[in-house]
Amino acid sequence: MKNSLTIAGKELAGYFLQPVAYVVMTVFLLLGGFFFFALLRYFEVTLTAYSAMQNPEVLQRLNLNERVIEPMLHNLAIVLVILVPAITMRSFAEEKRTGTYELLLTAPIRTGEIVAGKFIAAACFMLIMIGLAGMFPLILVAFGNPEVGVMFSGYLGLAWLAISFVSIGLFTSSLTQNQIIAAISCFGLLLLLFVISWPTQGGGGSLVDLVRYLSLPDHFAQMVTGIIDTRDIVYFLSLIFVALFLTQRSVESARWR
Amino acid sequence: MIEVKNLTKAYGNFVAVKDVSFKAENGSILGFLGPNGAGKTTTMRIITGYMPATAGTVLIDGLDIFSQSLEARRKIGYLPESPPLYPDMRVEAYLKFVAKLRGVPRGKIESALEHVLEVCGLADMSHRICGQLSKGYRQRVGLAQALIHDPPVLVLDEPTIGLDPRQIHEIRGLIHHLAGNRTVVLSTHILPEVSQICDKVVIIADGRVVLEEYLKKLPAGTSLEDIFLNAITKERHDDAASAEETLEEVGAGHT
């Protein structure tokens, strides 16, 4: 554990020694701000239009969470599909290319500790970034009357999603010494998780059920609407576990005879 | 003490190291010689536990590098072929990171750091960024990294490569000084280096050991160069050439 934290500390500091982390955070927050502004503007327009209709029932149904935060979080999830690979592609690939991998593997530490350390660092980075994006709902709280619990649940969903993405990114990075290959294959896997349920429309049977279960947007959408279900938490946890397990195997395979 | 036992390493069909065995005793410096591509780096990577052998094993102070890997790795300080530096980190932060990884107790990190900065001549460089150092200084940081946990076994892959003559002189002095009761294995293809600082020489060619001998037992009057050239050409002519035969041949005129 101590070794994991040593590596995590070095990795996290390492993110900020390079411009990549700042660029990724800036892009994420700027796009987030843009979505927030655009959706809020649209909300306002709709609000004015509905008010003119003098129908209090429709006006009642107009909801800040549904109209602004929910679509914003869904958009940010897609942005993460592109940004997470940019953050995780270095993790193992760069070490292999520059030869520092030799330092890590000959140090008296377990491969699991290396993987855990890199995972903790990348997960912390994501939490910092998503935490900073928490300023958008804070603005709503300051000027409006949104449901705080629902927004919190949505952000929690985004955090789970980002951390699962990160573990998949670590896995693809552990397979190669080429950062581009690591990033592209991670991007492919993440996008696949988004669209995997497409062919299951109208189908039935256990295979279809399995594929549907794998589909990420369903689990994420649940949390965004404010429903924290253990099934969704279990889904994200298993995604993280499987990806990290494969990463550990892939790193350990260097020692197989 | 390092005992290399019948080490074989194959990459697919290509056999890089064939049945290599040798021993490096406590308190001695072993020079590991061989032409380019002879299998020096592969052997050292196996000794340090970076890669597994196809067959055979290595004992570090009696600990098997495969079955007791973690304990064995604790005893080793390793300078790979290219110094394993993180280009964005500062020298001090990097060495502290390695110290923690190598299990130096928290309270001793500061003094260990000062010590290696001092002996490797890096005192003025501790705030420099690794990626901006010259080749020579990178090599020194690599050496500092290998020494920071005061390991009983040192494995140095071409420690003097890329250094200027003055630095080479200093580093050789440092290695000689370090030996003490440590076991040092260093690879090189600079022959005078071996005769200057090593106690024992192992020559490999095409992945096989062609000579393992104490320097003081080498026939008087023969230069290491003759022995080396003879050993590696002999290897090409006759795979079965044993070390003794090679020696006898070279020393024939003198004994």
ipTM, 2 dp: 0.89
pLDDT of residue B240: 47
Residues of B in contact with A8 (CB under 8 A): none
Integer Cα distance of B110 and A6 in angstroms: 16
Residue type, A152: F
Interface size, chain A vs chain B, as Cβ–Cβ contacts under 8 Å: 75
CB contact under 8 A, B78 and A102: yes
Residues of B in contact with A18 (CB under 8 A): 88
Integer Cα distance of A140 and A244 in angstroms: 37
pLDDT of residue A232: 94
In this prediction the pTM is 0.91
User: How close are the terminal C-alpha atoms of chain B, in Å?
Assistant: 32
pLDDT of residue B251: 56
Interface of A with B (CB under 8 A): 2-3, 6-7, 10, 13-14, 17-18, 98-110, 254-257
pLDDT of residue B247: 58
Question: Quick one: DSSP state of residue B214?
Answer: E
CB contact under 8 A, B101 and A255: no
Task: Return the SS3 of B204.
Answer: strand
Residue that the structure tokens 């209709």 belong to:
A53
Residues of B in contact with A19 (CB under 8 A): none
pLDDT digits (tens, 9 = 90+) for B87-126: 999 999 999 999 999 999 999 999 999 999 998 889 999 9
pLDDT of residue A33: 96
Residues of B in contact with A6 (CB under 8 A): 97, 100-101
What totals of helices (H) and strands (E) does chain A contain, helices first?
14, 0
Residue type, B4: V
Per-residue pLDDT of chain A (257 residues; tens, 9 = 90+): 789 999 999 999 999 998 999 999 999 999 999 999 999 999 999 888 888 887 777 777 788 888 899 999 999 999 999 999 999 999 999 999 999 999 999 999 999 999 999 999 999 999 999 999 999 999 999 988 888 999 999 999 999 999 999 999 999 999 999 999 999 999 999 999 999 988 888 877 888 988 888 999 999 999 999 999 999 999 999 999 999 999 999 999 988 87
> At B75, which helix (H) or strand (E)?
none
pLDDT of residue B236: 58
Burial of B14 (0-12, 13-18, 19+ CB in 10 A): exposed
Residue that the structure tokens 């003094």 belong to:
B111
Q: Left if phi > 0, otherwise alpha if psi is -120 to 50, otherwise beta: which for B180?
A: left
- B147 φ, ψ to 5°? -100, -15
Q: pLDDT below 70 — which residues of chain B?
A: 234-255
Residue of B nearest to A16 (CA): B88
Tokens (6 digits) for B130: 């690794």
Candidates B101, B109, B130, B132: best to mutate against A (most CBs of A within 10 A) is B101
Q: Is B57 on the interface with A (CB under 8 A)?
A: no
pLDDT of residue B225: 81
Residue that the structure tokens 């104490």 belong to:
B214
pLDDT of residue B253: 47
Bridge partners of B186, per DSSP, are B31, B156
A181-208 residues labelled b (16+ CB within 10 A) or e (exposed): ebbebbbebbeebeebbeebeeeeeeee
Domain architecture of chain B: domains with CATH: 2-75+152-251 (3.40.50.300), 83-151 (no CATH)
Angle (nearest 5°) at CA A44 between A42 and A49: 95
CB contact under 8 A, A103 and B84: yes
